[in-house]
Amino acid sequence: MIEELQKPDYKPIPIMGHLVAGYPDREGFTAACRAMADGGIEILELQLPFSDPTADGPLNTEAGETALRNGFKMRDLPSYLDTVKAGGFDEIHIMTYANILYRQGMKAFVDNLDDVGVTGIIIPDLPLEDEEGFYAYTADKRIDAVPVVIVNMRSDRADLLKSLPVSRCYAALRQGVTGTRTIVEDKQLQFLDSLENLRVYAGFGITSREQIEALRGHAHAAVVGSYFTSIIREAARPGVNDDDSDSRTDAIYQKVKVGARKLSEPESGR
Amino acid sequence: MGKWFGEFGGQYVAEVLKPALLELENAVSTIIPSKSFQDTYAAMLLEYVGRPTPLYFAENLTRQLGGAKIYIKLEGLANTGAHKINNALGQVLLARTMGKRRVIAETGAGQHGVAVAAAAAKLGLSCEVYMGEIDVQRQQPNVFLMRQFGASVKPVADGTRTLKDAVNAALKEWVRDPDTTAYVLGSALGPYPYPDMVRGFQRVIGDETRRQVLDQTGRLPSELFACCGGGSNAIGIFTAFLDDPVRLTAVEAGGTGNAPGEHASRMNGLSKTGIVEGYKSYFLQDDDGQIQPTHSISAGLDYAGIGPELAELGRTGRVVFTSARDGEVLAAFQQTARSEGILFALESAHAAAAAFKKVPHMDKNDSIVIHMSGRGDKDLFITAGALYTEEWAKFLRQEADRLERQAER
């Protein structure tokens, strides 16, 4: 493993980092976003908060609640996208729940994001049955619908995925919700390998370089979610730098950058 | 019938939940129709639940209001005090037949939790009930009852710490361990097959009522009144009458006003179609699609969504929706107690409140049925606190002091 890492043509697997819009607040979000970019994260998954997030673990649930309590509105989205782009991210995916998309109108939601150059949309509670015509509608757009699948899904479910007009998918490495640790084993890797012709983003419980290395050659990117939420939560904790927003923002930046480097740089974190 | 009710219903869940729901779909279509399941279930409804529950002619109320004859379906006499037991028993029996060892459930006011805990105790399964922290605090009597039935009550600290957060927590727990665990959902909502299955277990209320009213009066009633939160009691009594010339009125929680957070009326133009907690229906939500807080004096109606079948029946006009304010509900609660010696649950008192407004304007030859889906003992801390605030506060302080002194000894 070590020898392999030291090969001159070593190319690390890209990481998709996850941030909740409006968390821990507007300035903290900007700092975390910049820190991720500076820490070697290449792709950004921007989650739009929803009041009833059925697929989030406790950390991201709390992050979404905090963002909503702080007044996050959908009309703020363009400004968050500007922040993400200013951080240097070219590949951006929007993750949210079906009701947010449905309220705006599925087509309007897709078209608006397509217009501003978002790469993909991840809606975990829109099933592969395509009940809102979401996968079909995005088929001939630049923007991609990114269905969420799980390792070792039943073969009829896997066939359903293959029948969809999609070119990417988000593969959850195990059952359960976000925010707890996953061990990457052969059965997961075999499943990822079976997702031919799809650009695969693999995640759920990724918190170490070791897990990310294990995905190399099996996924196109590793998704890292609540790991960052946890770091931001710790840095923004009430009682820490409460009365000094500059040093609070700075703490978020430093801690997220260190956390990002631990995952993106092979030599550190060992 | 089935997965869709017009455009409402569906199965909008993450792929992680699909295997468990597909297994349940299969069990619903193979196990429930079987003779052995139906025989066991029917015997338990008779001997354990206490069915049929009476249809009672409320002679005094009829005389006082001077209009249509008032009949009350006394579903609150069912074991555990409400209609919830019909569904809880059916789903827990199904879980046991599927070979599950454990049932989990969400509860708001605690009525569904109590029913599931009792059914699990009877059928020998372990039981965990997820309940928002705020509900745990304000519904201690039901928390106590669930524990007496051997259930473990899990307080949920996420979100608004009420019913919807309990639903989310229970779903997540189900995803964690779907092989040994069944999720027993308490109302006719959520992803398919729940709305279909829950209506199936609750329609016994209407089937009985229809027989009873024909026996007692020789004809169909002109109108039925049922309260409506998620709507399992309403769809339960309405189903048998859907093809009859009977007006079906569902009464929502009018709360204290029409502003967001003051009520739980989804069907009066204040809500919009949405996709939440696995199904498409009407939800109280803001322009972004964020679910709004709700209020009702009755914890059981305090919910932002409505079952998909009732949403469709409301859209087509087959079911007419109205609402009752908290104050009207308390007045109806007192009137039924004083006139008939019957204690309505605050949820069911919504149905009574709407009926009492209408009855005086109806013909004396007409008859109506009010669904008393639950009885009101459980609301003691709310009703006593609202009606006798000072006396009740004094009593509670005295009791607290007495317990503290006892503990010191």
Q: In CATH, what number is assigned to the domain containing residue B215?
A: 3.40.50.1100
Dihedral class, residue B2 (left if φ above 0, else alpha if ψ from -120 to 50, else beta): left
Nearest neighbour of A55 by CB, restricted to B14, B285, B287: B14
Q: Which residues contact B283 (CB under 8 A, 6 or more apart)?
A: A99, B266, B271, B272, B273, B274, B276, B291, B304, B305, B306
Mean pLDDT of A202-223: 92
Mean pLDDT of B9-13: 96
Residues B147 and B34 in one domain: yes
Mean pLDDT for chain B? 95
C-beta atoms of B159 and A52 within 8 A: yes
**Which of B21, B194, B288, B291 to probe the A interface (max A CBs under 10 A)?**
B288
C-beta atoms of A157 and B285 within 8 A: no
Task: Indicate which residues of B carry an active-site annotation.
Answer: 84, 106, 373
Mean pLDDT of A54-64: 89
C-beta atoms of A52 and B291 within 8 A: yes
Residue B172 has pLDDT above 80, yes or no: yes
Q: What is the pLDDT of residues B51-61, one digit of tens each?
A: 999 999 999 99
Residues B216 and B339 in one domain: yes
Q: How many Å lie between the alpha carbon of A9 and the closest alpha carbon of chain B?
A: 37
Residue A2 has pLDDT above 50, yes or no: no
pLDDT band at A65 (very low <50, low <70, confident <90, very high): very high
Chain A residues within an 8 Å CB radius of B282: none
Q: How many Å lie between the alpha carbon of A105 and the closest alpha carbon of chain B?
A: 10
Tell me the one-letter amino acid at B48: Y
Task: Determine the Cα–Cα distance for residues A146 and A135; give it in Å rounded to an integer.
Answer: 8
Is B149 among the domain residues? yes
Residues B267 and B379 in one domain: yes
Taking alpha carbons only, the member of B371, B111, B83 closest to residue B226 is: B371
Mean pLDDT of B302-310: 95
Strands A15-20 and A43-47: parallel
Tokens of B390: 């000072």
**Residue B288 main-chain phi, psi, to 5 deg:** -80, -15
Q: What is the pLDDT of residues B239-282, one digit of tens each?
A: 999 999 999 999 999 999 999 999 999 998 889 999 999 999 99
Q: How many Å lie between the alpha carbon of B290 and the closest alpha carbon of chain A?
A: 5
Please state whether the predicted TM-score (pTM) of the whole model is above 0.90. yes
Is B392 among the domain residues? no
Length of chain A: 270
C-beta atoms of B158 and A131 within 8 A: no
Mean pLDDT of B158-162: 79
Residues B219 and B185 in one domain: no
Is B404 among the domain residues? no
C-beta atoms of B13 and A127 within 8 A: yes
Task: Determine the Cα–Cα distance for residues A4 and A220; give it in Å rounded to an integer.
Answer: 19
Residues B233 and B154 in one domain: no
Q: Give me the residues paired with residue B372 across strands.
A: B74
Question: Domains in chain B: how many in total?
Answer: 2
Is B389 among the domain residues? no
Is B407 among the domain residues? no
Residue B5 has pLDDT above 70, yes or no: yes
C-beta atoms of A51 and B290 within 8 A: yes
Can you give the pLDDT at residue A5?
Answer: 46
C-beta atoms of B15 and A150 within 8 A: yes
Residues B244 and B335 in one domain: yes
End-of-domain residue from the set B198, B232, B249: B198
Chain B residues within an 8 Å CB radius of A127: 11-15, 18
Residue A268 has pLDDT above 50, yes or no: no
pLDDT band at A242 (very low <50, low <70, confident <90, very high): low
Chain A residues within an 8 Å CB radius of B178: 175
Strands B223-227 and B367-372: parallel
Strands B272-276 and B279-283: antiparallel
Can you give the pLDDT at residue A229?
Answer: 97
Q: How many Å lie between the alpha carbon of A261 and the closest alpha carbon of chain B?
A: 31
pLDDT band at A6 (very low <50, low <70, confident <90, very high): very low
Helices A77-86 & A26-38 angle (0-180, nearest 10): 30
Task: Determine the Cα–Cα distance for residues B170 and A265; give it in Å rounded to an integer.
Answer: 39
**Residue A142 main-chain phi, psi, to 5 deg:** -65, -40
Interface residues on B facing A, Cβ-Cβ cutoff 8 A: 10-16, 18-19, 22, 158-159, 164, 168, 171-172, 175-176, 178, 272-278, 280, 283, 285, 287-291
Mean pLDDT for chain A? 89
Task: Determine the Cα–Cα distance for residues B142 and B147; give it in Å rounded to an integer.
Answer: 9
pLDDT band at A269 (very low <50, low <70, confident <90, very high): very low
Residues B176 and B223 in one domain: no
ipTM higher than the 0.95 cut: no
Can you give the pLDDT at residue B176?
Answer: 84
Listing from the earlier edge strand, what are the strands of the sheet with B126-132? Answer: B152-156, B126-132, B102-107, B181-184
- List the single range of B82-91, B111-120, B171-180, B200-209 with lowest mean pLDDT: B171-180
Tokens of A59: 């950390």
Is B409 among the domain residues? no
Residue A71 has pLDDT above 70, yes or no: yes
Q: Give me the residues paired with residue B319 across strands.
A: B248
pLDDT band at B1 (very low <50, low <70, confident <90, very high): low
pLDDT band at A1 (very low <50, low <70, confident <90, very high): very low
Q: How far is CA A22 from the centre of its chain?
A: 15
Residue A8 has pLDDT above 90, yes or no: no
Residues B263 and B174 in one domain: no
> Exposure pattern of A23-42 as b/e (b: 16+ CB <10 Å)?
bbbbebbbbbbbbbbebbbb
C-beta atoms of A52 and B16 within 8 A: no
End-of-domain residue from the set B159, B176, B198: B198
Residue A195 has pLDDT above 70, yes or no: yes
Residues B11 and B112 in one domain: yes
Task: Determine the Cα–Cα distance for residues A241 and B82; give it in Å rounded to an integer.
Answer: 52
End-of-domain residue from the set B153, B169, B198: B198
pLDDT band at A11 (very low <50, low <70, confident <90, very high): low
Nearest C-alpha in B relative to A100: B289
C-beta atoms of A177 and B172 within 8 A: yes
Rg of chain B on CA atoms, in Å: 20
C-beta atoms of A100 and B14 within 8 A: no
C-beta atoms of B283 and A126 within 8 A: no
**Which of A70, A99, A151 to probe the B interface (max B CBs under 10 A)?**
A99
Q: What is the pLDDT of residues B102-146, one digit of tens each?
A: 999 999 889 999 999 999 999 999 999 999 998 898 888 999 999
Can you give the pLDDT at residue A3?
Answer: 44
C-beta atoms of B15 and A153 within 8 A: yes
Nearest neighbour of B16 by CB, restricted to A50, A68, A150: A150
Mean pLDDT of A32-43: 97
HEC sequence for chain A? CHHHHCCCCCCCCCEEEEEECCCCCHHHHHHHHHHHHHCCCCEEEEECCCCCCCCCCHHHHHHHHHHHHCCCCHHHHHHHHHHHHHCCCCEEEEECCHHHHHHHCHHHHHHHHHHCCCCEEECCCCCCCCCCCHHHHHCCCCCEECCEEECCCCHHHHHHHHHCCCCEEEEECCCCCCCCCCCCCHHHHHHHHHCCCCEEEEECCCCCHHHHHHHECCECEEEECHHHHHHHHHHCCCCCCCCCHHHHHHHHHHHHHHHHHHHHCCCCCC
Task: Determine the Cα–Cα distance for residues B123 and B92; give it in Å rounded to an integer.
Answer: 7
Chain A residues within an 8 Å CB radius of B132: none
Q: Give me the residues paired with residue B125 across strands.
A: none
Chain A residues within an 8 Å CB radius of B168: 52-54, 61
Residues B169 and B34 in one domain: yes
Q: How many Å lie between the alpha carbon of B304 and the closest alpha carbon of chain A?
A: 11
Task: Determine the Cα–Cα distance for residues B115 and B80; give it in Å rounded to an integer.
Answer: 6
Task: Determine the Cα–Cα distance for residues A23 and A30; give it in Å rounded to an integer.
Answer: 9
Dihedral class, residue B189 (left if φ above 0, else alpha if ψ from -120 to 50, else beta): beta
Q: Are B282 and B272 in contact (CB under 8 A)?
A: yes
Residues B171 and B236 in one domain: no
Chain A residues within an 8 Å CB radius of B291: 51-52, 99
Q: How many Å lie between the alpha carbon of A215 and the closest alpha carbon of chain B?
A: 21
Is B406 among the domain residues? no
Mean pLDDT of A181-202: 88
Task: Determine the Cα–Cα distance for residues B146 and B155; give it in Å rounded to an integer.
Answer: 13
Q: Are A251 and A257 in contact (CB under 8 A)?
A: no
Mean pLDDT of B289-314: 94
Can you give the pLDDT at residue A185?
Answer: 83
Residue A56 has pLDDT above 90, yes or no: no
Q: What is the pLDDT of residues A100-159, one digit of tens each?
A: 999 999 999 999 999 999 999 999 999 999 889 999 999 989 999 999 999 888 899 999
Task: Determine the Cα–Cα distance for residues A206 and A214; give it in Å rounded to an integer.
Answer: 11
Nearest neighbour of A125 by CB, restricted to B14, B272, B287: B14
Residues B118 and B261 in one domain: no
Dihedral class, residue B283 (left if φ above 0, else alpha if ψ from -120 to 50, else beta): beta
Range of the domain at B184: 4-46+84-198
Is B399 among the domain residues? no
Q: Are B368 and B223 in contact (CB under 8 A)?
A: yes
Burial class (CB in 10 A: 0-12, 13-18, 19+), A170: buried
